[in-house]
Amino acid sequence: MTKPCRQYLPPEWAPQSGVMLTWPHVHGDWAMRLNQVEPAFVEIAKQVSLQEKVLISCYDRSHREHVAKLLAGASVDMGQILLRAVPSNDTWARDHGPLTVMCAEEARLLDFSFNGWGGKYAFDLDNQITRRLYAMDVFQDAPLQTVEMILEGGAIEVDGSGTLLTTARCLLAPTRNPGMTREQLEQRLKELLGINRILWLHHGYLAGDDTDSHIDTLARFCDNRTIAYVRCDDPSDEHYAELKSMEDELKNFQAADGQPYRLVPLPWPHAKFDEDRNRLPATYANFLVINGAVLVPTYEDPADSEALTRLKECFPGREVMAINCLPLIYQYGSLHCVSMQLPEGVL
């Protein structure tokens, strides 16, 4: 039994022990694009391994051997890699991985339920990944708490000062927690994540996104006073009005000290489409903060360099690294979506 404690969810820039990835495989939606997407995963794992551990879930033993060969072939320090055979439906570790809260400097894993973003996709294997990894003792002595509530990591942002940022379109979707009112949901999040207020965005979306507007595709805390967000500067684009309304909402928010947030607009990349002319959700807000660095998704787009410059201004003490994530958006997510950071004391 764990002792009572005021637990809290640390911000992404807090010290980390590692990052969790779930590797793509032939049994899922990536089957026809493995040759394109695996290099992106290799590069993510390599860059993270330069700073901290990387925990990788592989579909089975033969898949684990395959991933090991890919990483070794890319000169990745295998001493930084933990490979485990755990079957998965898909690769979005941000949403099926654990949220790690801290309590008196001790880590606790919260295993929220995952239902495939409201029943859109198969999720039976993904919903078991955290518990299966826990049974393998990869999380040291951190206790695990199963939470009977749907919550994806990509749906929330915290600033380390008691504030949570989210979107009403996602967290209040009837396919997530239909038995909970907004007030009940807020109270549960405050108890579990140690926050004292929630900022709700009612505008903002990306065409092609199938998460019901995860906050990590739209607006991100960079510190407790700074929010980087996507802004569309093309009035002819379908996103223009909605993202302008989101920007207005952000301008009306106040930081924990009562002052307006410092808002940093991120550039708008050219529209990206798949073979069937479906628009893909390219967003620079889907960056990943790790120890000493920020990994930024790029899309072989003229706006890439400006995005790197803007985020360098947001994280002056960290190296900013570009990761080509164009292959990732063909399954409607990006860099942050495929990763889940694990704070100090977990790996």
**CB 326, CB 78: distance < 8 Å:** no
Whether residue 3 is predicted with pLDDT greater than 90 in this model: the reply is no
16-343 fold = L-arginine/glycine Amidinotransferase; Chain A (3.75.10)
Q: Judging by beta carbons within 10 Å of its beta carbon (0-12, 13-18, 19+), is residue 163 exposed, middle or buried?
A: buried
Name the residue with higher pLDDT: 140 or 205: 205
Whether residue 112 is predicted with pLDDT greater than 80 in this model: the reply is yes
Q: How many CB atoms lie within 10 A of CB 157?
A: 23
CA–CA separation, 137 and 66 (whole Å): 23
Express as a percent the part of the chain with pLDDT over 70.
Answer: 99
Domain ranges of the chain: 16-343
Return mean pLDDT, the chain. 96
Q: What are phi and psi of 112, to 5 degrees?
A: -75, 155
Predicted local distance difference test score (pLDDT) of residue 176? 96
Average pLDDT over residues 101-122: 95
DSSP of 129-147: HHHHHHHTTTTTT--EEEE
- Predicted confidence (pLDDT) per residue in 86-98, tens digit: 999 999 999 999 9
**CB 338, CB 44: distance < 8 Å:** yes
CA–CA separation, 79 and 10 (whole Å): 26
Predicted local distance difference test score (pLDDT) of residue 6? 84
Average pLDDT over residues 20-45: 97
C-alpha closest to that of 66 among 35, 93, 91, 89? 35
What tokens appear for 264 in the block?
A: 């940093």
Q: How large is the angle between the packed helices 61-73 and 34-49, nearest 10 degrees?
A: 70
Predicted local distance difference test score (pLDDT) of residue 105? 84
Average pLDDT over residues 164-180: 97
Predicted local distance difference test score (pLDDT) of residue 5? 73
Alpha-helical regions (H) of 128-218: 129-135, 168-171, 182-193
Predicted local distance difference test score (pLDDT) of residue 52? 98
- Predicted confidence (pLDDT) per residue in 263-290, tens digit: 999 999 999 999 999 999 999 999 999 9
Predicted local distance difference test score (pLDDT) of residue 221? 98
Predicted local distance difference test score (pLDDT) of residue 1? 47
- Predicted confidence (pLDDT) per residue in 50-83, tens digit: 999 999 999 999 999 999 999 999 999 999 999 9
Whether residue 192 is predicted with pLDDT greater than 60 in this model: the reply is yes
Express as a percent the part of the chain with pLDDT over 90.
Answer: 97
